[in-house]
Each structure stands twice: as structure tokens, then as C-alpha cells.
Amino acid sequence: MAEPKPVQLTWRKALDPDELPDGRVKTVTIDTTSICMTRVGDQYGALDNHCPHQGGPLGEGSIENGHLRCPWHGWDYCPLTGKPPEGGYDDGVPTFPVEVRDDGVYVGLEQDQPHRATVSDVMIQTMANWGVKWCFGMVGHSNLNVADALRLQEEQGQLRFIGIRHEGAAAFACSAYGKLTGRPASCLAIAGPGATNLLTGLWDAHVDRAPVLALTGQVGSQVLGTGNFQEVDLKAAFGGVAAWSADVLPNSKHAELMTLAAKHAILDRGVAHLVFPDEVAGHPVDADAQPGSPDGRLAARAIAPPQDALDHAVNMLASAKRPVIIVGHGARFDMPAITELAEVLGAPVLTTFKGKGLIPDDHPLGCGVLGRSGTPIASWFMNESEALLVLGASFSNHTGITPKKPTIQVDADPLALGKFHPIDAPVWGELSATVELLRQRLAGNHGCRDHRDEVAARWAIWREEKQRRLQDDRGKGVNSASIFAALTRQVDDDAIISVDVGNNTYSFGRYFECKRQAVLMSGYLGSIGHGFVGALGAWAATQEDDPRWAGRQVVSVSGDGGFGQYMGDFNTAVKYGMNITHVLLNNCNLGKITKEQRAGEWPVWQTDLTNPSFAKYAEICGGFGVRVTEAAQLDDALRQALDDPRPAIVEIESDAELV
């Protein structure tokens, strides 16, 4: 029989001389090896730091009556040999060789073995192959195997991980990234509360049709169903929000599971969810296990509508003298074709609030936002219209789209057609393909008036009104017209702006004039807190080589109530050097709720807020902060913040009534 191959040891220093007192223990980590160092008299021991029963950290234990006691369940071992007391039921704890030298105590470690691929490695590499470039999340005890796979992919330059301070911020960042780019980012959380903290941001993605991959840890599969610590039925918890959800099992087709998750997120434009039981995530895979990729898994989606539906839409538009085009968030990636059609017809283009900025407000046919936070220009043309062409909008009660006009609706989702009421011409087709066919059929063959002069006249009326509102001053803070006029002047023409909910957002919709800016918001969920953490996702997109977003300025807007939801994640922006300028309207009040209480003839109750100095908070965190108390300071303060490379807060003392 051949002699066993001798083990090659590498001697590494664990302790300085006399660093560890007699009768004490200490955890020492050398590279990734965790060691429990012990001292009894002049003798030292080096034990594996994991108790063999529950994995308890022996280096956090104590030596009592000559025995090392596990801090978790009180089991005893010899502090030098790792052996249990006589009559023990196990073989004890593995040990490492120890040498005491003049300069300290050394431990002999086996030379590093090559990394063996795990279930998580295969799945995260598959995720990266599908073009997922970002993961926002929090590393914790039940997702450590997944986190290590993410680390390896980050070291190889395949993706970047952003460690957030609250899992809700991770989900909102992913939702905003998906809305902006049309591609999924991923979010990571532990079992139990970490996973449930994701849900609000994931519901935002779900209702606004944004692709997201949610990766959640789970308790070990052997204790599922027993009421284990942090056990939550995650498939049930995510059942309403996830378009697709699956448990990762030891014998699953792991690359295929991640492929299906990515495919569902992209094609369903929603949340795909994977649950990683703790021990399954670290299970080794065969050496020949291969990650998946999108090759051959996706088809072109530019599907034209049925001919009879197209004919009906063409006839309605050709015969209308005053048609209006209304675009929602669903048209975000189709605006070149839509704008070209509008120019052929000379038709005004209105947007829903979620679609704000999809056509510039300085375009000769751009009329701004329709609905509760919109412009009187859009309302005018809605009222005067003879027919509506609605593209990528939902007809929810907030859009302001009347059901009383002859309407053509185009959507790639057949369930969205006629969702709230019957439509005269429901057209099932991909927007760009359908709009291009409409343009070809209508060019030189329509009776639409050219509305450019009328659009310009309505804008002139509204801008005169906005100028008058700039003078409003009750001595209780800056009015919203002034705030958003200054923001219009100062931000880049192609900035990405993430907004919150509340009076600040209504005022943004009403007063801010878009050029080529991209606007992100929590649309149908209307979740307070979206503004700043949505900007984290927008910033991620600006770091890529996609020419649509690379290098663009990122700005967010909120009230004091909204920023307070996730203000801890301002530290995240500082940590990762995110150049985000946050415009914070501080009126020490939940202003929109106060207004609703008054409108409902209730007493105003529990809507006042107690705030710190948000500008000083920014500085304490390592960012830039500036406070504005009067309108004359706005432009200079905004310019300083936008020019500073650090995350910044422009705190504006605002009037809750002048919105």
C-alpha cells in the first residue's frame, strides 16, 4: 500500500506574544479560516471554531474548570486537544498544529484547495450571463453561500454588488432600474424579515411592470415547517407579487431555474423569485455543471397587430380633425416612432404622470402631463379632442383619460386592453411596430389639423400663470412654483429624475418642464420613500456603457416624510460614491395628507413631523448638504449640489400650502 501523501502546511501568525491571557479564548480569522485560539498556562491550542453540534463559535466561549465551553449549548471540550470529556458522544473538535515562536504564536494550515463550484455559483453565473449587472441587497446568515457566489462574479467583473441599509431600498432600486432600462437587476435578502422587507419595493415593480430578480435565503430545508427561527413561507409571502417563484432544491436543474427566472422577469415584465434553503445554496455541483445563457431562449417581440384592428384604428384617426395622442409609462422605449407619427398628424401629445417627460415639453406638439398633477394645456386638448390614441397607458383613475371620447388603445398586453371600460378600437400589438404601420398608412391620408400653433398658445398662457405664482409668499417657506422653476433651469437637459409621492410630486408634475430628462416614480403603488432609493437604481444604470444612460446626471426629489423612510441609505450612496443630488422639500408636515384631511372635513391630526437638519445630516454622513430658506438662494444652492461629486442634499424650507 502506498504511503499517504504528506500534508503541506503553511505556517501563519495567529497571535502576538502574550496577546491572549491565560485561561482565555479568542476567535482569529486567517484568510477565510476561522480558528478558536486558547491558552492554558503556557500552552496554546488552535481549534476549528465551529462546534460540531450546531456550529456555535467556540472562540466566543469560555474556559471553566479546565474545559472549553461552547457558548451556544454548553458542551465541553479540552481547550488544547479539542477532545470531549470522558464519556462524550462525539469525536470532538478538529485542531490545527501550533508553534510558539519568539514573535508570536503560529498555526499550521493546509495549503488552499481549489474552489469547488456550488449550486449558488452555477446560478449566479447564469444570472450574469443573462445580462444582470447589479445586485442590491444585504448579506446575512441565511444567504452567505449566495453572497459568496456574487462575490466571485464581482471579482471577475461580471456584476456589481451594492450593500444597502434596508432591504426595501434594494427592491426600490431594482424597480427603478428596471423601469429605466427594461432590464432586470437583482436584490438579495436573508430568510424571514429580510425577505419580507423586500415586498413593498417588489410590489412597486409588479404593478409598474418592471423586471426584477429577487433572491432570498431560507432556513435549512431539514427544519422547514417546524417553526424554525426566521422561518417564513416565502413562496406564499411572495405569491401575489411574483410572476414566477421557485424553491432551489439539491437535485434541481440549477442553471435552468435561473434561466427561467430571468426569462419570466424580462418577458412578464415583473418579479421573478428564487428561494435558496441555506444548505442547498452551498451544495457542491459536479465539475461539468454548466451555467445557462439567453442564447436561443428569447424571440423578437416586435409583433404587428391583426389587420382588421389596424384598419379600424387607421379609419378613426384619418377621419378625426382633432385627434390626441396619449402616452403612458409603457411607451417609454417607443417614443421615436410615436413622435414621428405625431408630427405626421400634427396631433398634440399628452402624457400620463408616469409618462412625464417622454415627449419634451418644448416639443411643438408636447402638452405635458394629464390628470391630477398635470398642466392645463393637457386638460385643454383632452377636452377639445375628437378621438384619443392611447399608447402604453392603463386608464386608471389617476391618468385623467376620459372614457367619453372615441378611443383607440394599443398595448402589447391583451389584458390591458379595455381593462377598465370598453374601448372603441382595442389593438393588440407591440407599440413601435403598430405605430410605424399607422404612420405609413396615415402619411398624406388624414384630415387632422396641425395643432402646433395652438399648443404654443396654450403654453404661453400657462407660463404667464406660472410667472405670477412665483411671487406667492406667505412667509412660511418657498413656494413650489419657484422650487421647480429653479430645478428646470439648473438640471441637465438629459438628467434622470427619481421622484417620490405627495405634494412635492404633484408640484413637480405641474411646474417642472421636461426636455430630455427621464422621470422615474412609484406609479400605481404610489409608495412614499421611492424618490431617493429609486435614484440608487438610476445611478447604477449611468455606470454602464449603454449610451442611453451612461454618465447622465441623477437627481431625486421628495418631501421630508418620504426621505425619512429610507434616509439611512444616504450612507449607501456615500459608501459607493454615488453622485446623486437629492432635492428635499421640508415643511415638517405630511402635506398631502393634511390637505386630504381638510378636504374631507376632518380635523388635521398627526401629520406634523419633527425633523433634523437634513443638510447637516448629509454632511455628517460624508456628503454635501445645503439649506435654502428663500427663493433667491435656490439656483446657487442647486448649482453647488449638482457640481459636487458627492451625494448631496438640497434641503428647502418649503410652504406646504403653496403647491
Q: Could you tell me the CATH number of the domain that includes residue 74? A: 2.102.10.10
Residues belonging to the chain = 659
521 in a domain, yes or no? yes
- Same structural domain, 106 and 123: no
The three grid cell numbers given for residue 479, joined into one nine-digit string: 413656494
Q: What is the pLDDT of residue 89?
A: 60
Phi, psi for residue 504 in degrees, rounded to 5: -60, -35
124 in any annotated domain: yes
Q: How far is CA 648 from CA 227, 426, 550, 557, in A?
A: 44, 46, 20, 12
Closest CA to 243 of 101, 413, 46, 411: 413
Cα 346 from Cα 275, distance rounded (Å) = 52
Same domain, 506 and 641: yes
User: Looking at residue 399, what is its pLDDT?
Assistant: 77
Are 342 and 433 found together in one domain?
Answer: yes
Q: What pLDDT is stored for residue 7 in this prediction?
A: 64
Which residues, 6 or more positions from 310, have their beta carbon under 8 angstroms from its beta carbon? 304, 427, 429, 434, 437, 438, 441
Read off the CATH number of the domain in which 547 is found.
3.40.50.970
Could you tell me if 516 and 474 lie in one domain? yes
**CB-CB neighbours of 617 under 10 Å:** 18
Reduced to 3 states (helix: H, G, I; strand: E, B; else coil), residue 66 is coil
Residues 203 and 235 in one domain: yes
Cβ–Cβ contacts within 10 Å for residue 62, how many?
14
| Domains identified in the chain, total number | 4
- Residues 171 and 216 sit within 8 Å (Cβ to Cβ): no
Considering the domain architecture, whether residues 607 and 527 belong to the same structural domain is answered as: yes
Show which of 420, 454, 488 is a domain's final residue: 454
Question: Hey, what's the cell of 659?
Answer: 403647491
Which residue blocks in 6-162 are alpha helix, DSSP H?
Answer: 119-129, 144-155
Q: Which residues of the chain have pLDDT under 70?
A: 1-7, 87-90
242: β partners: 271
Mark whether 223 and 200 lie in a shared domain: yes
Counting Cα atoms < 13 Å in the Cβ hemisphere of 547 gives 0
HSE-CB at 301 with a 13 A cutoff on CA atoms is 14
pLDDT tens digits, 175-209: 999 999 999 999 999 999 999 999 999 999 999 99
Domain endpoint, select from 281, 315, 334? 281
| Residue 292 falls inside a structural domain | no
pLDDT value at residue 303: 87
Structural domain contains residue 459:
no
> Is there a single domain that holds both residue 606 and residue 514?
yes
382-387 LR contacts (CB < 8 Å, sep 24+)? 382/324, 382/350, 384/322, 385/322, 385/323, 385/324, 385/348, 386/320, 386/321, 386/322, 386/323, 387/316, 387/317, 387/320, 387/322, 387/323, 387/324
Residue 48's nearest CA partner among 83, 87, 86, 11 is: 83
Using the 3D structure, point to which of 390, 420, 454 is the last residue of a domain: 454
Q: What is the pTM of this model?
A: 0.92
Please report the pLDDT score of residue 6 as a whole number. 54
How big is the CA angle at 619 (ends 618 and 620), to the nearest 5 degrees?
A: 95
Q: What is the pLDDT of residues 11-59, one digit of tens each?
A: 999 999 999 999 999 999 998 899 999 999 999 999 999 998 888 899 9
Same domain, 88 and 56: yes
Q: 348: how many CB neighbours lie within 10 A of its CB?
A: 28
Is the same domain home to 39 and 168?
no
Of 23, 26, 43, residue with least CA distance to 35: 26
Residue 598 covered by a domain? yes
**Position 4 in a domain:** no
Asked if 482 and 626 sit in the same domain, the reply is yes
Model pLDDT, residue 395: 84
Q: Whole domain around residue 252: which residue ranges?
A: 119-281
The SS3 assignment for 570 reads: helix
300 belongs to a structural domain: no
- Separation of alpha carbons 471 and 474, rounded Å: 10
Q: Which three cell numbers stand for residue 362?
A: 418644448
Residues 147, 98 share a domain = no
Domain assignment present for residue 105? The answer is yes
d(CA 466, CA 485): 9
Phi-psi region of 501 (alpha: psi -120 to 50; beta: other; left: phi over 0): beta
